[in-house]
Amino acid sequence: MTPEPITIVDFTMFMGMHSDNERTRIACKNFFVEHADAPLYMPLDHVGMCDHIVWRHPYSVQAHYYPFMDVLHSTYQFKRFTYEPSVLAATPVPAESEGVAVSYALLRAASQRAHARLFSLIDVSRRVEHASLKEGGLGVERRFSGELELLYQQSRGLVVPEHLLREKTQWTALFHHL
């Protein structure tokens, strides 16, 4: 029997729970509610991308957001990972004309190597099984269990513009390149 593929989420899925587009917000939230008991993998560079977006908001907004994020990351089976040296060595740097950031080239390569299901609001590759939100999670907004729902509602002062989550040219402009 073939083992179930691992599930990788990127920063767009996590920050999508705070999208200014209600359809995206509900779909991303429902995804996480539905995956409460399943291990979810997220690369550490995408954890940093989430922080970068949050840190652009006033401290008063961050103070209401981080309790939700802390409890979610502590109670869910999040497995953070770095890229294996073999993935780094084997991943070609994408040409600027491809419109793929190096971080997504690495994520794509790691997903392929692990035979993972990659959940993202950005279609990062035609060669990766890209699980879109059309597979589920739309419709009625589901609730997190217990205290997590209250913390989520308190965190909703943080609002992320939809275009930052969907358009590669928008989010790559947020970050400094060395």
Q: Residue 21: which residues within 8 A CB-CB, separation 6 or more?
A: 162
Mean pLDDT of 23-48: 91
The domain 7-172: what is its CATH number? 3.40.50.1010
Q: Give residue-wise pLDDT tens across range 130-168.
A: 445 554 445 789 999 999 999 999 999 999 998 888 766
- At 85 the pLDDT is 82
Q: What pTM was computed for the model?
A: 0.84
Which position has the higher pLDDT, 178 or 22? 22
Computed over every residue of the chain, the mean pLDDT equals 82
**Beta strands, E only, the chain:** 7-9, 40-43, 78-81, 117-119, 130-131
* Closest residue by Cα to residue 168 from 96, 86, 114: 96
Q: What is the largest CA-CA distance in the chain?
A: 50
List pLDDT tens digits, range 120-135.
887 655 444 444 555 4
- Cα(92)–Cα(150) distance, integer angstroms: 44
**How many CB atoms neighbour CB 2 within 10 A?**
5
CB 136 within 8 A of CB 30: yes
Both structure tokens of 27: 């779909």
**80-122 pLDDT, tens digit each:** 988 888 777 777 766 555 666 677 778 888 888 888 888 888 7
Using CB atoms within 10 Å of the CB of residue 152, give its burial: 0 to 12 exposed, 13 to 18 middle, 19+ buried: buried
Interval 60-72: pLDDT, tens: 999 999 999 999 9
- How many DSSP H helices and E strands does the chain contain? 9, 5
Q: Does the pLDDT at position 26 exceed 60?
A: yes
Distance CA 109, CA 128 (A): 9
What is residue 127's predicted lDDT score, i.e. its pLDDT?
Answer: 40
pLDDT score for 172: 55
CA dist 5 → 117, 125, 158 (Å): 6, 18, 32
